Amino acid sequence: MSNSNLPETRGLFIAMEGGDGAGKSTQAQRLAAALQEAGRTVLRTREPGGTPVGEQLRALVLEHGNGEIDARTEALIFAASRAAHVQQVIEPALAAGTVVVCDRYVDSSIAYQGAGRQLGTEPVRILNTWATGGLEPDLTVLLDVDPARGRDRRTAGQAVEDRLESEPDAFHLQIRLAFLEAAQAAPGRYLVLDAGRPVDELAETILRRVEKLLP
Ligand SMILES: Nc1ncnc2c1ncn2[C@@H]1O[C@H](COP(=O)(O)OP(=O)(O)OP(=O)(O)O)[C@@H](O)[C@H]1O
Ligand SMILES: [Mg+2]
C-alpha cells in the first residue's frame, strides 16, 4: 500500500522477521530503545498478539495441548490475530506519528504456514493482504538464521519449545528459504542480515538504516 497520500505525521512501520531464535526480540528491543533515546515515540509490539484477543489467539495456536490444529486453521488464527493488531494498534499508532517496531508480521505467516505447513505462499499472502487491509511495513529487517543455530540459542535460553519451534530442522529450513524469497522479491523494502553477527553490530546496522527512513 502506498503511503504517498497519507498525512505527513504518519509514523514508520518496521517489522522484525526471521526464524525462531534469530534474535528478533533482542533487536526489536535494541531498536526501540535507541529510537526512544533519540526522542522518538516508539511502540514495540509483537505477533501473534498485541491485543487482548490476539494474545488469546497466540496462546491457542502456540501452546501445546489444544488438540489438533490443522494448517488452514492455524493460518486463519494467525491472520485473525494480525487483523485485530493492525486495526486496533498498528494503524492508530502510525496515524499518530509513532514508530512501530513489530516482532513478526505477514512474512512469518507466508514462511511458516505457506512454506512450512505447505499451504502455498500465494494463498497465505492473499489471506493476509485481506486481514491487514494491505498494510505493509516500510522496512522489514530479516535476521537470516541457520536453523541449527536458532535451535541452539533457543534451547540455551528456555527449555520448552512451542508448537512451531518444536518442528524438525527441515521445517525450519523451508521457512528460512521462504523468508529469503520474500526479501528477494522486494529488495528495497528489506534489510537482510546474517543473524550470526554480534548483537551490537546488528543493532548499529539496523539503526543506521531506520534513521534514513525516519520522517
Ligand atoms: N546476534 C546474536 N548473537 C548471539 N546471541 C544472540 C544474538 N541475538 C540474540 N541472541 C541470543 O539468542 C537467544 C534468542 O534471541 P531472541 O529471543 O532475541 O530471538 P527471537 O528471534 O526473538 O526468538 P523467538 O523466535 O523464539 O522469539 C537469546 O538468548 C539472545 O540473547
Ligand atoms: Mg522473540
HEC per residue, 122-140: HHHHHHHHHHHCCCCCCEE
Q: What is the mean pLDDT of the chain?
A: 94
Pocket test residue of 16, 17, 20, 25 for ligand 1, highest count of atoms within 8 A of CB: 25
**Domains in the chain: boundaries:** 12-212
Alpha-helical (H) ranges within the chain are 24-37, 52-62, 71-85, 91-95, 106-109, 121-132, 147-157, 169-185, 199-213
Dist. CA 184 → ligand 1 center (Å): 24
pLDDT at residue 156 in the model:
82
- Atom 23, ligand 1: residue with shortest CA distance: 21
Q: Is 147 in the pocket of ligand 1 (CB under 6 A)?
A: no
> If pLDDT is split at 50, 70 and 90, which confidence band does 182 have?
very high
User: What band does 83 get if pLDDT is binned at 50, 70 and 90?
Assistant: very high
Pick the residue whose CA is nearest to atom 13 on ligand 1. 153
Nearest-ligand number for the alpha carbon of 162:
1
128 backbone dihedrals φ, ψ, rounded to 5°: -75, -30
Residue 88 pLDDT > 60: yes
Peptide bond between residue 168 and the one before it cis (omega within 30 degrees of 0) = no
Hey, whose CA ends up nearest to atom 25 of ligand 1?
Answer: 20
Domain 12-212 is of which CATH architecture? 3-Layer(aba) Sandwich (3.40)
Q: What is the mean pLDDT of residues 63-87?
A: 97
Task: Flag whether pLDDT at 158 surpasses 70.
Answer: no
Question: What are the cell numbers at 35?
Answer: 529510537
The verdict on the CB of residue 26 being under 6 Å from ligand 1 is yes
CA–CA distance, 204 with 208 (Å, rounded to integer):
6
Is the distance from CB of 202 to CB of 142 less than 8 angstroms? Answer: no
Please enumerate in sequence order all residues whose Cβ is within 8 A of that of 78, keeping only pairs 6 or more positions apart, or say none: 47, 48, 57, 61, 108, 109, 112, 113
Check if 153 has its Cβ closer than 6 Å to any atom of ligand 1. yes
Predicted confidence (pLDDT) per residue in 113-155, tens digit? 999 999 999 999 999 999 999 999 999 999 999 999 999 998 8
CA of 156 to the centre of ligand 1 (A): 10
Instruction: Choose one of 25, 26, 146 to mutate for the ligand 1 pocket test, by most ligand atoms within 8 angstroms of C-beta.
Output: 26
- Could you read off the pLDDT of 15-35 as tens digits, one per residue? 999 999 999 999 999 999 999
